[in-house]
Structure 1
Amino acid sequence: MIQHDHFKFSTGVIIYPVFFVLTIWLVFWFEVRFGFNFSRYGVYPQTLKGLRGVVLSPFIHGDIQHIYHNTIPLFVLSMALFYFYRPIAWKVVLFGILFSGFFTWCIGRPSYHIGASGLIYVLVSFTFFKGVFAKHYRLIALSLLVIFLYGSMLWYVAPVKEGISWEGHLSGLVTGLLFALFFRREIAKPKKYVWEQENYNEEDDPFLKHFDEDGNFIEHIETEEEQTEINYIYKEKPKDSK
């Protein structure tokens, strides 16, 4: 992937995360305002009807605390995703919802699994492992920041607290890791210096030719041909021209 396709701010960096979060809050408001309960549209493992939750569950939340704790990290992480990984951001979001939801449907307990936490774990996992694999200083810094902010979430991929879909968290974590491996080539590459390139030859280096093997500077006197080329570059007339 070409370097200039990454790390550029665009309106989508803000608009897409805001739209996604507002949609989640709108669904919750509709439930509260009109007395609906959409929990039955969540993922219900190993049932045909429960498959609809693979797509719908990220937009459904149980209470105000649940939606509050999910939408803040979702907004932050999705902004980082669209800024640092813009060319593949939508793929990560859409396939992240589908894969993490399907894995939850496969391994989950017989209960309704709702909430955007599965997608959040996809983004945390993907962002961390992607930065490690990229070996790019900006992406590594992002990985460290994600661990600093959301590293404690790792505890919740195990059944440590009743009422939390640890299966959804684990599914999101695994999905993010798989995406980091699958999209490994579609990442920004750190700029390499001349001497870091595979076809680098010291003998052809225009800088090193001014030094001997001991590192001493060799005074170089330009030939008439070289001087003519230099004068041409700086748009000066050659000395012998009239």
Structure 2
Amino acid sequence: MVLLAVFVGSMWLTFFLSVAIPGLHLNRHGVVPRTLGGLQGILFAPWLHANLGHIMANTGGLLILGWLATWPRMSNFYEALIGSMLGAGLCAWLFGSAWSDHIGASGVVFGFAGYLVGRGIYMRNFLAIVVALFVAGTYGLSMLLGVLPIYPGISWESHLGGAIGGFLAARSARREGK
């Protein structure tokens, strides 16, 4: 639980620093599609947010889904985080509009959701299935709409890539558990 608080807290600290220090321009370190420099955003984009509403919108999902991803071991959180960051970043880099800048942790939120649903499918134990059904029931519609290119200025590419990356991380974790 401490790790999750540090993770989300570091995003808020980064946001406050970007607001408090004029000229810092941290948001230029997001994913810029099909540019060599834009690859750095795969690592940095989840910590960068456009405004207060943006980071607030991501915080709830990060805390709830991130907490669920820590069960039954903390290594699950790392698997979900790495899968979702790689998936979100690579998908935004490959398929995003030219010269766009993809920032924010929503790809990680979608990745945690994809991981939890995938874990229910692959683990097939009662608790994992209950968590998967909870996530699908609670976040399902917004996830479905979030991976479609219907909202201007919202990175559907990051959302789709994060969900795929999280799901694949759950599949990979199942294979390693055998």
Asked if TM exceeds 0.5, the reply is yes
Partner of 2:112: 123
Structure 2 counterpart of 1:155: 145
* Percent of aligned pairs with the same amino acid: 34
Which protein shows a greater Rg?
A: 1
Counterpart of 1:141? Answer: 130
Shift of 1:186: 4.8
| 1:59 alignment partner in structure 2 | 47
- Aligned partners of 1:185, 1:54: CA distance in 2, in Å? 25
| Residues in 1 aligned to 2:137 and 2:48: alpha-carbon distance in whole angstroms | 28
Equivalent residue for 1:17? 4
Q: Distance in 1 between matches of 2:72 and 2:145?
A: 27
Q: Which residue of 2 aligns with 1:46?
A: 34
Q: CA deviation at 1:120?
A: 1.0
What RMSD over aligned residues (CA atoms) do the two structures have, in Å? 1.7
* d(CA) in 2 for partners of 1:159, 1:56: 23
**Cα drift, residue 89 of structure 1:** 2.5
Q: 1:53 is aligned with what amino acid?
A: G
Instruction: Give, in angstroms, the shift of residue 178 of structure 1.
Output: 1.6
CA distance in 2, matches of 1:87, 1:161: 34
* 2:30 and 2:38 in contact (8 A); partners too: yes
Structure 2 stretches lacking a partner, 5+ long: none
Q: Which amino acid aligns with 2:158?
A: G
TM-score (norm 1): 0.68
Quote the residue 1:202 is aligned against: none
Runs of 4+, deviation exceeding 2 Å = 83-89
**1 CA distance for matches of 2:72 and 2:153?**
34
1:179 and 2:163 matched: no
Letter in 2 for 1:150: Y
1:183 aligns to what SS in structure 2?
helix
| 1:108 is the counterpart of 2:90 | no
| Residue type of the alignment partner of 1:126 | Y
Deviation at residue 104 of structure 1 after TM alignment: 1.7
Structure with greater proportional helix content = 2
CA contact (8 A) 2:83 2:165 kept: no
Instruction: Report the CA distance shift for 1:165/1:174 in structure 2 as closer, same or farther (over 3 A).
Output: same
